Amino acid sequence: MKVIASTDRAFKQMVKRVASRSTLHGGEVENTAKTILKAVERGGDSAVIRYTKKFDRVTLKPAQFRISPEQVKEAYYQIRKEEGDALRFAAQRIMAFHERQRTKTWMYQDNGATLGQVVMPLDAVGIYVPGGKAVYPSSVLMCAIPAKVAGVKRVVMCTPTSKAGISPYLLVAADIAGVDEVYRIGGVQAIGAMAYGTKTIGRVDKIVGPGNMYVATAKRLLYGTVDIDMVAGPSELLVIADDAANPAHVAADLLCEAEHDEEARVCLVTTSARLAKEVVRQVGEQVKRLSRQKIVAKSIGRHAVAFVVGTMEEAIDLANEIAAEHLALSVDRPFDYLEKVRHAGALFLGRYTPPAVADYVAGPNHVLPTGGTARFFSALSFDDYVKKSNIVAYSKEELVKVRDHVARMAQMEGFDAHAKSLESRLS
């Protein structure tokens, strides 16, 4: 893990390198995604079968795409009771949080006009749950529960399969969260199937959830055909720590995020050179005791940085420039800095808020913007599963009051039919 101070000549260059990371992929990744998407659009189920065999080494028939209710029931017998209890506990917390995000249809009277906004759930949402290096039942809960809170009638889940099938943890989580359809399809072909629809998989209106670079690129390419939540990249954590922070805790939090995959990005920003040195030592010690040691070591070696700055104000400014997915404030009086933080997907405040509690059971959504996109993207929320239509209703009397303003605006824009659509009602 590199340590670099604000007085070092290479400091600004390192900050720029960290801050300029991107979630976007072009070249070969984009070309591959385009090829698969076009094949699925044209070939439907047959293309899905072909690419599932190619990438997952599993041969499926269309009738085998969807997980049956019997398979879901069987999954409950494959996990321990306390594991099911943990999933239900997390689900309750996630539901409670997202229910507080509810927005309702509203209207008001402006003299003789009625104005407002109607809030309606999307008809169908697809959630993508990645496979590969780990199993993510928490992502199932985070993506599906807000959809059900919003009133989405049809929630579809796609996840990669193996010859052994889908993890029972995913199936139980899907059942607890209220997922309506589960398909054992992954990769770009799953994104294409949900976006375009096939004979077996009905199309959806929006696709949410994390995935690898090919899945993220496919979602980006399909934006406009369907809505998407965001273009997500590797996991990120930035920890701001003062001299009183516990270096063992800080190191453990950095390693917690680094174990997602080799491209995970973690960094420390501190006002204490002593703390930075001790955190680096703790990282080196703790990584030896982790089951995913090789993945963590690659992440730390490739991307981890400890920045040493002069003041907390500099630390906050640096955090805002980097705009990390997760920002932890292991400092005295963390709430004093809350309004100064402008760019972060989620904030973990205080000495006793490890990333894991937010990832699993706190309740706020853990699907968050990465790659610096916290400057303009938000965490997945209730709002992602509804659409809003404006309401305008005028009386004749109120129309008379605005006729001259409408006519002048129409004249400015050169649209005489606009003015005549009003005048036809008043002549």
Residues marked active site are found at 325-326
In the numeric block, the tokens 């929630």 are attached to 155
353, two tokens: 């808020």
Backbone angles phi, psi at 44, to 5 degrees: 60, -130
Give the C-alpha separation, 366 to 135, whole Å.
15
In the numeric block, the tokens 């917690």 are attached to 256
Q: Are the CB atoms for 232 and 220 separated by under 8 Å?
A: no
Strand partners, 120: 387
Cβ contacts of 5 within 8 Å, gap of 6 or more: 11, 273, 307, 308, 309
Cβ contacts of 420 within 8 Å, gap of 6 or more: none
In the numeric block, the tokens 């701001």 are attached to 240
Give the C-alpha separation, 265 to 371, whole Å.
9
Give the C-alpha separation, 284 to 266, whole Å.
14
Backbone angles phi, psi at 265, to 5 degrees: -115, 120
Give the DSSP letter string of 322-374.
H--SEEEEESSSGGGGGGG--S-SEEEESTT--HHHHHHTSSS------TTGG
CB atoms < 10 A from the CB of 101, how many? 15
Give the C-alpha separation, 387 to 389, whole Å.
7
CB atoms < 10 A from the CB of 263, how many? 18
116 Rama class: left (phi>0) / alpha (psi -120 to 50) / beta: left
Give the DSSP letter string of 13-80.
HHHHHHHT--S---HHHHHHHHHHHHHHHHHTHHHHHHHHHHHH-----GGGSBPPHHHHHHHHTTS-
Q: Are the CB atoms for 342 and 372 separated by under 8 Å?
A: no
